[in-house]
Amino acid sequence: MAEISALFWDVGGVLLSNAWDREQREHTLQHFGLDEVEFSDRHEMLASSFERGKISLQEYLERTIFYRPRSFTLQAFQDYMFSLSQPDTQVLQLARELASSRKLLMSTINNESRELNLFRIQTFGLREIFSLFVSSCFVGLRKPEEGIYHLALEITQRLPKQCCFIDDRPLNLESASRLGMYVIRMESAEQLRSDLKQLGVKEI
């Protein structure tokens, strides 16, 4: 039986809806009547810098949307982006249960731009659950790069075999698994609870 002392969580697709993934981008472009191909070309060139915290949300929007006049404001566009973030209440409740036991280190490993990340941490009370946020915008690394998992282990001073990483995307899980971490692919709150129990997490 594994002796898990640390849980690392993805945020978008696990605890909350994705922040600015393909689905959210498509909804937003449709809402504002924007050309998807034109936007995508610019987005792809800036996405890495945006998620690594190298450019601000304002600069990202100025270069992907507001490089020419629009009939709407940057603030209106940003507000709509933020409004798409929704919680998975059952998974958040499970995470809160685990955090309240105070027996496990609770941390995120997530790819997210700085402004959206801070908004979601504040809005959904994630500081009450997690003591550490290994977010791409803070550390300059992104999943599935192995460096971000190495960094999380070094910061927390945990061995891979003491850790479990939870994500909804197989590629991200593969990188953690190669380092020796236990991994769980998130499908539902019920499945996640069951898989954690099978790993010997007794705090639920």
Q: What is the CATH number of the domain that holds 55?
A: 1.10.150.240
Give yes or no: residues 127 and 185 share one domain. yes
In a domain, 203, yes or no: no
- pLDDT of 106 reads 98
- pLDDT of 40 reads 97
- pLDDT of 204 reads 66
Give yes or no: residues 62 and 102 share one domain. no
Give yes or no: residues 142 and 47 share one domain. no
Give yes or no: residues 136 and 168 share one domain. yes
Give yes or no: residues 33 and 125 share one domain. no
Give yes or no: residues 132 and 164 share one domain. yes
In a domain, 13, yes or no: yes
Give the end of a domain, one of 83, 107, 126. 83
- pLDDT of 126 reads 98
Give yes or no: residues 139 and 178 share one domain. yes
- pLDDT of 202 reads 78
| Measured distance CA(65)–CA(88) in Å, rounded | 30
In a domain, 183, yes or no: yes
- pLDDT of 19 reads 97
Give yes or no: residues 78 and 90 share one domain. no
Range of the domain at 45: 22-83
Q: Report the b/e string of 2-23 with b at 16+ CB within 10 A.
A: eebbbbbbbbbbbbbbbbbeee
| Measured distance CA(143)–CA(145) in Å, rounded | 5
Give yes or no: residues 79 and 90 share one domain. no
Stretches where the chain sits below pLDDT 50 are none
Is residue 149 a contact partner of residue 176, using CB atoms and an 8 Å limit?
Answer: yes
**What is the number of structural domains in the chain?**
2
Q: What is the pTM of this model?
A: 0.95
